[in-house]
Homo-oligomer: A and B are copies of this chain.
Amino acid sequence: MITRYADPRVDAISCDEAKVKRWQDSELAVIEARVNLNLAPRNVFETTKAILEANPCDIGWWLRREKETQHDLTAFIDERLRYIPPEMQAEWHKDMTSYDTEDAAFALALLQFAAIVSEDLEKLIGLMKGFALRERYTLMLERTHGQWAKLRSFGGRILTWLAPLLFAHEQLKRAAANCRQSRISGAIGNYGGGLSPEIEFEALRILGLTPFYGATQILPRIVQAPLAQSVRLVGEALGQIAVDFRLGARSGKSLWHEPFAKEQKGSSAMPHKKNTIGTEQIDGMLDLLSGSEASVLRSIQTWEARAIEQSCVERVAWPDLFHEILRMISVMHRVLGGMVIYRDHMLQEIQDSRETYASDEEKNFLALECGKRGIEFETAYRIVQLASFCAFKPTEYWAKVRETRPSFDLREADELLQESYNAPFKQSLGIKEIIKKGKLFRVEGLKATEKDVASWNVFLSEIFSGADTRARWDALFNPSYLLKGEGFLFSKILG
């Protein structure tokens, strides 16, 4: 991964020094296991361990030796042998094949990567939980299909970001647990003449691992694949938040914005710009991450007891996957931690929605009245639909603009723009009043005839003749009514 996006903790795990250290730990664990099983003298283990730990692997020597053997693990074996007394050399890498060393070591690396992701995720989740609680009673409009839908609290919106992330985190932890499985079972996985299930079990136990039975020369990569898949899921959960963030930050009545530094520039050309560059990067990073995941999944299979296709994928795609997800988490943490919230716009947007935010409850209210009067259920739907279309009817001036296409040249556009600055806005009644007062009128584009409309207005006048009905109607629009179920979700999700 390029420096710009690299997480130093991932590099610290995937660097050569750390890698050969893990190899050494694997090798020593096998010797220690033999000692514990009375298959080798304890001093061989103790001396070898002491010498090797006192003399770290010489990376330069090792890489030069690899050029000759064209095999990195045998080069490592040779490098280490330089320090081991001849009489103890036979215990070194005894009966082992390269992947007896490497697979145990690689499992350790994956566990370390996963632990870092988990740690950063927990911090982000903590931040989001506090955030949700703080905005527990801030009102906003929720959208479906990009259209204004219903009222919710901003805190409640954050819960919907949080829940998928919690789910993905759960998958990650499960998948990481799989990665505790590894193998030290010889060149084709059946222990051959020298290893044994007992040595394997004990050596892995020393390393904090556990055997996977049925491996070949390598652990079947399918065992680790769910970890990559779960990182993808974490990425998707973050990507979803990023997209929602970008949608909410769009100019107009933007609901929030990314933090913007005092000397920041949004654009070299347009000084007024404050762009959502963080969340956009999260989306781009997900494009990278899904490519890395695809590479890991494509390399699950091998031929027979193994070939080495998966090696380069593991050297590149696995660390990249972790660089990418950690970058996504860190940018998201920065964005959510410093985001500017426009609660004024949230409220203004509710006003702008002309009370359509309760159209579901309105429809059900009217449906009950229909039921009482033997009017078909469907009518309630059609009345509310018509009322909402009425509520958004433009004034005459703007209706004309809507239909006008300047058709000659750009000067016509100049004039229209100039003139429009003086055009009056006047909002018609909202849906709440249109229905309560029986002020429906026919609109193009719906099937309702003049006669339908007239009869519906009569029907509405009847319903709303009573003060009690009007009061019940008005109560529909209260946040405290519409959001009464949210408290339960807060307690369930925030725990």
A293 vs B291: C-alpha distance when bound (angstroms): 8
Assembled-state Cα–Cα distance A149/B249 (Å): 14
- In the bound complex, CA of A478 to CA of B308 (Å): 29
Residues of B contacting A353 with CB < 8 Å? 251
| Contact digits for A452-483, partner B, Cβ 8 Å, 1 yes 0 no | 00000000000000000000000010111111
Query: A352 at the A/B interface (Cβ < 8 Å)?
Result: yes
Contact B485 A271 (CB under 8 A): no
- In the docked arrangement, what's the CA distance between A308 and B160, Å? 17
Chain B residues within an 8 Å CB radius of A118: none
Residues of B within 8 A of A394 (CB): 344
Alpha-carbon gap, A236 to B192, bound state (A): 27
Contacting A163 at CB < 8 Å: which of B73, B147, B214, B382?
B214
Interface size range of chain A in the complex:
35 or more
Q: Is A302 located at the chain interface by the 8 A CB criterion?
A: yes
Of A45-53, A106-114, A222-230, the segment with at least 4 beta carbons within 8 Å of chain B is A222-230
> Is A412's beta carbon under 8 Å from chain B?
yes
Question: Known: A192-B361, A478-B414. Is A312-B285 also a contact (CB below 8 A)?
Answer: yes
Tell whether, in the assembled complex, residue B417 and residue A350 are in contact, meaning their CB atoms are under 8 Å apart: yes
Q: Is there contact, CB below 8 Å, between B349 and A252?
A: yes
Complex alpha-carbon distance, A220 and B161, angstroms: 10
Q: Is B268 within 8 A of A93, CB to CB?
A: yes
- Total copies of the chain: 4
Cβ contacts under 8 Å, A142 to chain B: 188, 216, 304-305
Known: A167-B223, A186-B269, A251-B147. A347 touches B307 (CB 8 A): no
C-alpha gap A212/B388 in the complex (Å) = 32
A270 in complex: contacting residue of B149, B222, B403, CB < 8 Å: B149
Contact with B along A339-369 (1 / 0, CB 8 A): 0011111011111110010111111100110
- B-chain residues with CB within 8 Å of residue A388 when the two chains form the complex: 271-272
User: Of residues 374 to 404 in A, which have CB atoms within 8 Å of B's CB atoms?
Assistant: 374, 376-378, 381-382, 384-385, 388-389, 394, 398-399, 401-404
A8 contacts B by Cβ under 8 Å: no
> What 7 pairs between A and B have smallest CB-CB spacing?
A163-B214, A191-B485, A272-B388, A291-B295, A97-B269, A145-B275, A284-B309
